[in-house]
Amino acid sequence: MKATIHYLLFISFLLGYAFCYAQEQEDVKIIKIKKEKLFVKAAFDDTEFKVIAFDRYGNPHEQAIKSFTILYNEKKTNYEAAVVGNTFPKKTINFLTKKKKLATKICLTKLKAEDKDGHMEDLPDLCDIVIFPDCKKVNKNR
């Protein structure tokens, strides 16, 4: 009886050892997970002078843009203005629309958008945006 118990323990030990090493001993594969960005692009609303972010499904998010930089040149001099929020400052709007007589081409860079979890995402630059000055009243007698 005692020998049978020892024999069964020995066989169970061998079977347990065999089950432990039954897996293949190859290289462990690594799964890489890349987080998808929520926001894909941004667009400029020239009626309200604000920047709007669009998600990968095409839905607009007006309050997602947290900061950006406005770049434009005038008389061979480059100007840069950092903006916090998604709307242009009144001073910049007045300069570009009221004080200038010619259209100005601007570029929006360093666009930062914040998703609902509070993560900041970089968006691609918006260039070749043309802002036209306010129209003057035309003299009808001419």
According to the 3-state scheme, what is the secondary structure of the chain? CHHHHHHHHHHHHHHHHHHHCCCCCCCCCCCCCCCCCCEEEEEEECCCCEEEEEECCCCEECCCEEEEEEEEEECCEEEEEEEECCECCHHHHHHHHCCCCCCEEEEEEEEEEECCCCCEEEECCEEEEEECCCCCCCCCCC
The answer to whether residue 123 is domain-embedded is yes
Q: What is the mean pLDDT of residues 83-106?
A: 83
Q: How many domains does the chain have?
A: 1
pLDDT computed for residue 77 by the predictor = 81
Of the pLDDT bands very low, low, confident and very high (cuts 50, 70, 90), residue 138 is very low
Check whether 91 has a pLDDT greater than 80.
Answer: yes
The answer to whether residue 100 is domain-embedded is yes
Domain residues for the domain of 75 are 39-131
Tell me the pTM.
Answer: 0.65
- pLDDT tens string 26-35: 677 888 888 7
The answer to whether residue 31 is domain-embedded is no
Check whether 141 has a pLDDT greater than 60.
Answer: no
The answer to whether residue 122 is domain-embedded is yes
